[in-house]
Amino acid sequence: MQTNNFDYILPEEYIAKNPPQIRGESNLLILDTSKKTHQFDKYYNLGKYLKGDELLILNKTKVVPARLKFLNPYGGKIEIFILENHIGYKGNRIECIFKGHIRTGEIFELSKEHSVIIEEVLPNGKCVISLLENKKFIPINSYIDVAKFLEQYGHTPLPPYMKREDQDEDKTRYQSVFAKDVGSVAAPTASLNFTDSLKDKLTNKGVDIDFLTLHCGYGTFNPVKVDNIEQHIMHKEYYEIPEELVKKIKSNYQNIVAVGTTVTRTLEHLYLKQNLMSDFSNLLVRDYQDEADIFLYPSKKFNVVSKLITNFHAPRSTPLMLTIGFINNQFAKRANISPDSGKLIQESRDYLFNGYKEAMAKGFKFLSYGDSCLII
């Protein structure tokens, strides 16, 4: 399947550079796959399109201020981007992405007391650093220690396409209202529009709302660069699903609303990793921790999620491919045919892109700080 099939023109003026003035006042595109229609509403009216007996799952990961900025001795700009929290994280050596010119052994000062030393320069724009306090190594026992350091010196890791420096409001707005578990370097963007008042509305309607954690990684920013998407190597992201939520997943199988592609990938990875073979009764009730490396795109079967809330995604991106794949899967289920039909895949792609065009015509904003879609 060719990557250029997932390309479309996204003019710069449709990319949200800042959050909406009021959280939750965003627009909502409703894609009804049973009627193959497009409908428009507000995000806070989400409950109108839910039956009231669903299990709605959100990602409660917390974004760390993962960017460190420096000037080298010659006045050049250096940026070090700390990578996300992974399973089994330990040790003082911290893996990063960097921009600028650095050398092994260089020390960059953040204050009189604190600095960063370049331990190793790796291929593909990566490096390994350690943190120093009064020229002594800071002991790192977990990613939480890294996060505490970044809270003092780091910048909000806004996506590159925003093309601006972070501001004070980004500390709260590039974060969901229920963010708790430290470890992401990108926001689960569909959750950014979710509010406590919407949560109360949905709960009053009978929707059961619960949370898992997946730490969103730097890889989510990267477009697919290979010509054939099946050759793309998916990045890994650490997740946790608590035992109480697992119980609910078992009893609400195929009646689950996923808020975001991160929640979708987590649930579908759990299904495949546990070899459930369509029988969720075999899922053991316990806590789950793992790393999701599942790549969901058109022709792939979605086994768990029945409705998806997600934002408008960038061309050639893995979240865009997942979204088209989910639509394709909905079409296939309703037609009782295989999701690998080339004709159906093309129809799914066109259906989403036509919705995107209509949204642009109405002035919707795209990407992280932008508006959202509900796919039913």
Query: Is the pLDDT score of 365 beyond 90?
Result: yes
Q: What per-residue confidence (pLDDT) applies to 91?
A: 74
What span, in angstroms and rounded, lies between the C-alpha atoms of 83 and 291? 15
95-126 per-position pLDDT tens digit: 999 999 999 999 999 999 999 999 999 998 99
Closest CA to 188 of 68, 60, 79, 286: 60
Output b/e per residue, 127-148; b: 16+ Cβ within 10 A. bbbbbbeeeeeeebeebebbbe
The CATH code of domain 3-63+170-375 reads: 3.40.1780.10
Count Cβ atoms below 10 Å from residue 3 Cβ, excluding itself.
Answer: 19
> Which ranges in the chain belong to alpha helices (H)?
143-153, 170-173, 196-205, 243-251, 261-273, 318-335, 342-361
206-237 per-position pLDDT tens digit: 999 999 999 999 888 888 999 999 999 999 99
Count Cβ atoms below 10 Å from residue 117 Cβ, excluding itself.
Answer: 16
Residue with tokens 């009064």: 134
Confidence of residue 258 (pLDDT cuts 50, 70, 90): very high
Side chain identity at residue 159, one-letter code: P
Q: What is the mean pLDDT of residues 231-256?
A: 93
Q: What per-residue confidence (pLDDT) applies to 221?
A: 80
Confidence of residue 252 (pLDDT cuts 50, 70, 90): confident
Question: Long-range contact list for 24-27, CB < 8 A, 24+ apart?
Answer: 24/193, 24/194, 24/195, 24/197, 24/198, 26/193, 26/370, 26/371, 26/372, 27/359, 27/362, 27/364, 27/365, 27/371, 27/372
Output b/e per residue, 167-198; b: 16+ Cβ within 10 A. eeebeebbbbbbbebbbbbbbbbbbbbbbeeb
Domain boundaries, the chain: 3-63+170-375, 67-155
Answer yes or no: are the C-beta atoms of 240 and 288 closer than 8 Å. yes
Q: What per-residue confidence (pLDDT) applies to 254?
A: 80
Count Cβ atoms below 10 Å from residue 286 Cβ, excluding itself.
Answer: 10
Q: How many helices (H) and strands (E) does the chain have?
A: 7, 18
CATH topology of domain 67-155: Thrombin, subunit H (2.40.10)
Answer whether 0.75 is exceeded by the pTM. yes
Residue with tokens 């009782």: 336
19-55 per-position pLDDT tens digit: 999 999 999 999 999 999 999 999 999 999 999 999 9
